[in-house]
Structure 1
């Protein structure tokens, strides 16, 4: 069995170890990032919706940066939103601030009923710098 090539953002390794999952794994020229939520350093949810979405992107960008990537390297995005009919418009205004210019990554949006106290989660796959994967 090969050893997983795990990427940890600075200062949050204990949080991931406590919850028993890896924030990201490098494999075959790609970076697979676990779903990121708007958690504070102690793992608790940011209560304000817009701030929570911004913090989810901050947490995502910390992982991307630790792997030498930026959001521009992201090729696929999955977002999970609790009660999207009520929250998507407010969430998408914040997302647009972090999304960058076209061409955009692929996107799958999933409405969910529960995210462990959070309202938004973002999961991505990014191409690693200098990777030869098409």
Structure 2
């Protein structure tokens, strides 16, 4: 069972974007992904941060598919960002990828990633029963 929910508004502020505060998971199969960078299968890394995000999210999707899971099975996303980011474009890209699914979400700004050309890394946890 997967159940996404939020505490009552008098206890915790409502989510500020398309996510939930909590994901409750009971007997299930878990998939824990390593951080996915914005590297295409041919090794190309786009310069644009949001393009890197789109590629990293597609890498997450391909990992999910390889495990017979889907985006709707994601219970937690963590997005690491380096430098200036157009958050409006980020929200649009994330909404495009998620559709109507609203897992838990953390977005962090970090000083750097594994190499200077990388501006985005996405971690995901997925659960299925």
**Normalized against structure 1, the TM-score is what?**
0.66
- After superposition, the C-alpha distances for 1:78-109 in whole angstroms (9 at most, x for unaligned) are 1101125x43332222111101214x111111
Task: Give the unaligned 5+ runs of structure 1.
Answer: 1-27
- Give me the whole-angstrom Cα distance separating, in 2, the residues matched to 1:46 and 1:81: 14
Question: How many residues are paired up?
Answer: 100
Separation in 2, partners of 1:43, 1:91: 23
Q: Looking at secondary structure, tell me which structure has more helix per residue.
A: 1
1:88 paired residue number: 87
**Which runs of structure 2 are paired with 1:1-134 in the superposition (5 Å)?**
29-83=29-83, 86-102=85-101, 104-115=102-113, 116=115, 117-128=117-128, 131=129
Separation (CA, whole Å) in 1 of partners of 2:49 and 2:36: 14
**TM-score normalised by L of structure 2:** 0.68
| Aligned partners of 1:81 and 1:88 also within 8 Å | no
Unaligned runs of 5+ in 2: 1-27
Moved over 3 A (4+): none
SS at match of 1:41: coil
SS at match of 2:41: coil
**RMSD of aligned residue pairs (Cα, Å):** 1.8
Question: What is the distance in 2 between the residues matched to 1:42 and 1:34?
Answer: 19
